[in-house]
Amino acid sequence: MTERPPLPPPHLRDPGDAWVEGPDGTKYWGRFGAAGLLAWHLEAGVLLQHRAAWSHHGDTWGLPGGARKQGESAQDAAVREAIEEAGVPPDEVSLLFESVYDIGFWSYTTVAVRVDRLFAPLVADAESVAVRWVPLDDVDALPLHPGFAASWPALRERLSLH
């Protein structure tokens, strides 16, 4: 089992890096919400991240993403996280759409982008075991992060319109 790297001291962490607890006790990461990048390339498919076992819903596949910083837009957060976690070159993508899951006290925004020039993703931090392009027809065969699994059918349908 992979050990989680130590967190920086509390005074050095971003205030958005915290859990939000719902009325039923369910926890959500990101005091200001969270965002992820759905990077899509016509031939290669979508870029997915295999999450480290120690992470929330670890050992599942999902989108590079994470907590939004205070005042940060969902689009900026998704791109920043995708750079940090998968080496996504921001100049090689074009915005397609945003999809928001909002439960009142917390939200997650999926920012879908078209990849204009295919690139080789890389494992850029300890949160990822692997990152790779996955053909659309193969996504459902992977053990998906529950939130991504629930949203994938609608996201895939929206991708098909572009």
pLDDT tens for each residue of the chain, 162 residues long: 445 555 555 545 788 999 999 999 999 999 999 999 999 999 999 999 999 989 888 899 999 999 999 999 999 999 999 999 999 999 999 999 999 999 999 999 999 999 999 999 999 888 889 999 999 999 999 999 999 999 999 999 999 998
How far is the C-alpha of 129 from the C-alpha of 10, rounded, in Å? 26
Task: Tell me which residue has tokens 């890389």.
Answer: 122
How many other CB atoms are there within 10 angstroms of residue 19's CB atom?
12
Domain residue spans of the chain:
24-159
pTM of the model: 0.89
Residue 10 is which amino acid? P
How far is the C-alpha of 49 from the C-alpha of 115, rounded, in Å? 16
How far is the C-alpha of 81 from the C-alpha of 62, rounded, in Å? 13
Question: Phi and psi (nearest 5°) for 114?
Answer: -90, 135
Q: Which two tokens stand for residue 64?
A: 């590079």
How far is the C-alpha of 5 from the C-alpha of 150, rounded, in Å? 29
On whether the 24-159 domain is CATH 3.90.79.10, my answer is: yes
